[in-house]
Amino acid sequence: MASIETRELKSGELVHWVRWRKGGRAVGKPEGERFDDLKLAVKFKSDVEYYKHEYPPCFVPKHGYVTEAEMAVLRELAARAAAPSMPLLDAIRDYIDHLTGIQDKTRSDYHAYANNYFATFPAFAAADVMDLGTFTKRDVADWINWMDKGVPDPDNERAWLRAPLAPKTVANVHGLLYSAAKSWTEGERPPRSFNPCTDSNLPEIDDAIEEEDVFLTGSEYEILRAAAKPKHWPILDAFVGTGMRFSELASQQLQDYTPGVQTRVDRTWHTISGQQRELARPKGKRGRRRISLDPATDEAFSRGAHGKTAAQDFIFTAEQGGALRHNHFYILCWQPTVYRAVRCEVHRARDREVGMEFDGELVRLRQMRDLRMPWLRPCLCEGTLAKVPRVHDLRHSHVSWLIAKGVPLSVVSRRIGHDSPTFTDQRYGHLMPESERHAADAIGAIRGAARQS
C-alpha cells in the first residue's frame, strides 16, 4: 500500500510525501513524490495503487501530471534520445577519413567540400543518417538547386551570399555525397536501405562548356597580352605557346630548356595539403614529354632564363624571385590583365568613380566570374576583349590553334600530355566540325562512284 507522510518545514509550510515500494513488493525499490497540495497527494496515492504501485502513465517523476499530448511529445523525445545516432556531417567526415587510395591533397579537398557545401546547408547540418525522416531525396534536390542557383544578397543586387557553383563542381560535390551515402546502405547492418542521392538530376555540364571554357583567337590573345605589364609577357607567351598546365610551367627549370629547340616536362608541382606542395613526376603516363618551341615561345623562355645559372633554377619565378604560385600569379598578374583587357580606360574610370577601385586602378575581383556580372562585364568597346578567360584557358587556346591548323589529334594529345588521343577527342572534338563535313563528303563520294559503276 502507498502512504502519505506530512511534514512541516522550518518555514511552517506543510509538504506531503507519497511513498510506496515499486510493484507493491516488500523488496521493491522505494519510491516517493512530494506534493504541496494534500488533495493532489491523495489523488496521486490513489493512482499509484490503481496502477499496481507504478507511476501513473500521465505523471512525469519529479515533475507532475501532464496531458496526453504532452506525454506523447515526451515519449517521442525519449525515444529519439535512446535511438542510435549518426549525425550526417560526422558520418561524412568519418567516411572521408577512412577512404583508401587517395592523396592527402584529395582528402583535404573532400573535407573542404564537407565544410563548405554540406555543413552550410541547413537540412544537412541537422540531418542524422539513422533518422530516416532526415536526409531525404527532396533534401538532396533542394541542396543541388542551392548550389546551382546560388544565394543572392537581399541587401545588394550586385553581390552573392553564396555564388552559384559551376556544373562540374556540383557534380564533383554530389559524387562525394553519393559515395558516402552508398556506404551507409551496404555492410552487415547498414543504417539505411536507400541512397537518396540515386538518380539525382544534376546541371548539364555540356551546356556550360562555352561559358566555362574560353578559346581565344590569335588576335584576342594579343589584346590580352597588350593589357598585361611587359614583365608578365614571357610567362603568358610561354603558357599559350606550350599549352602546359600552370603547375608544369611553374616547375620548368633551366636544365629542361634547350634554347632554340625544345623544353622538357619532367616534373610538376603537386599540392600536398593547404599551401604545402612538392615537385614530383607528372601523374599521367604521357605527362613526361618534350615540347618543341616556336620562335616567339623560345624567346619567352629565353627571357625567363636570363640571368639564371644553376641547372635547377626555375625559369619563371614570382616577382620576388621565389617559386611561382598560382594564387599569387592570379592576383598580381591575371586579374589585373583580364580586367584591363575587357574594360576600356573610359569604363575603368567609371568603375573608379563608383568606388570599385583597388590599388589605385583595379577592382578587386573575387573570381573571374565577377566579370560576367551586369555591372562589370566586358564593355565591348573597340580594342577590348569580349571574353573573360581563366588562366587555364591559355592551354585551351593553344589546343584550339593546333586543331585549326589541322594538326592531328594524336600529335596534339602527346604535346599537351593527355594519356590518350581518345580523351583529347572527347575534350576538344567539338572544335573540329569540319571533320564531320569530311566524313559526309567521303560517304557521298563512295555512293556516287557506286551508282556510276
* Residues 403-412 pLDDT 10s: 888 888 889 9
Structural element, H or E, at residue 88: helix 88-97
Tens-digit pLDDT profile for residues 161-213: 888 898 889 999 999 999 999 999 998 788 888 999 999 999 876 544 445 68
Average pLDDT of the residues in 411-425: 87
What is the 8-class DSSP label of residue 375? T
- Domain range summary for the chain, segments of one domain joined by +: 3-82, 88-211
pTM > 0.85: no
Tens-digit pLDDT profile for residues 316-328: 999 888 889 998 8
Q: What is the pLDDT of residue 373?
A: 59
Q: Which residues contact 253 (CB under 8 A, 6 or more apart)?
A: 267, 311, 312, 313, 314, 315
**For residue 45, pLDDT beyond 70:** yes
Q: What is the pLDDT of residue 88?
A: 95
| Between residues 330 and 178, the one the model is more confident about | 178
| Between residues 266 and 435, the one the model is more confident about | 266
CA atoms within 13 A on the CB side of 359: 8
Average pLDDT of the residues in 138-161: 88
C-alpha 432/C-alpha 346 separation (Å) is 38
Q: Which of 66, 93, 87, 76 is nearest to 129 (CA)?
A: 87
Tens-digit pLDDT profile for residues 208-247: 444 568 899 999 999 999 999 999 999 999 999 999 999 9
Confidence of residue 443 (pLDDT cuts 50, 70, 90): low
**For residue 420, pLDDT beyond 50:** yes
Tens-digit pLDDT profile for residues 103-145: 888 898 899 999 999 999 999 999 999 888 899 999 999 999 9
Q: What is the pLDDT of residue 209?
A: 41
Average pLDDT of the residues in 425-439: 65
Q: Which residues contact 162 (CB under 8 A, 6 or more apart)?
A: 120, 146, 150, 151
What distances in angstroms separate CA 241 from CA 234, 236, 296, 300, 383, one per listed residue? 10, 8, 8, 9, 23
Report the percentage of the chain scoring pLDDT > 90: 53
C-alpha 349/C-alpha 372 separation (Å) is 19
Q: What is the pLDDT of residue 208?
A: 41
| Between residues 283 and 205, the one the model is more confident about | 283
- The 10 Å CB-count burial string (b at 16+, else e) for 310-346 is eeeebbbeeeeeeebebeebbeebbbbbbbbbbbbee
C-alpha 27/C-alpha 398 separation (Å) is 90
Q: What is the pLDDT of residue 118?
A: 96
Confidence of residue 285 (pLDDT cuts 50, 70, 90): confident
C-alpha 293/C-alpha 299 separation (Å) is 9
Confidence of residue 280 (pLDDT cuts 50, 70, 90): confident
DSSP 285-340: TT-SEEEE--HHHHHHHHHHHTT--STT-BSSB-TTSSB--HHHHIIIIIHHHHHH
Q: What is the pLDDT of residue 359?
A: 45
Average pLDDT of the residues of the chain: 86
C-alpha distance across the termini of the chain, in Å: 116
| Between residues 304 and 448, the one the model is more confident about | 304
Q: What is the pLDDT of residue 114?
A: 95
**For residue 35, pLDDT beyond 70:** yes
| Between residues 328 and 299, the one the model is more confident about | 299
Average pLDDT of the residues in 418-422: 85
Q: Which of 223, 213, 217 is nearest to 378 (CA)?
A: 223
Tens-digit pLDDT profile for residues 92-106: 999 999 999 888 888
Q: What is the pLDDT of residue 288?
A: 92
Q: What is the pLDDT of residue 365?
A: 57
Q: Which residues contact 397 (CB under 8 A, 6 or more apart)?
A: 214, 215, 216, 221, 240, 389
- 68: its cell numbers: 496526453
**For residue 362, pLDDT beyond 70:** no
**For residue 375, pLDDT beyond 90:** no
| Between residues 445 and 366, the one the model is more confident about | 445
DSSP 3-state percent helix, strand, coil across the chain (nearest 5)? 50, 10, 40
Q: Which of 100, 205, 117 is nearest to 162 (CA)?
A: 117
| Between residues 155 and 370, the one the model is more confident about | 155
| Between residues 376 and 288, the one the model is more confident about | 288
What distances in angstroms separate CA 84 from CA 40, 129, 190, 265, one per listed residue? 38, 10, 12, 54
Structural element, H or E, at residue 261: none
Instruction: Map residue 215 onto helix, strand or coil.
Output: coil
What distances in angstroms separate CA 254 from CA 240, 302, 305, 365, one per listed residue? 19, 10, 7, 34
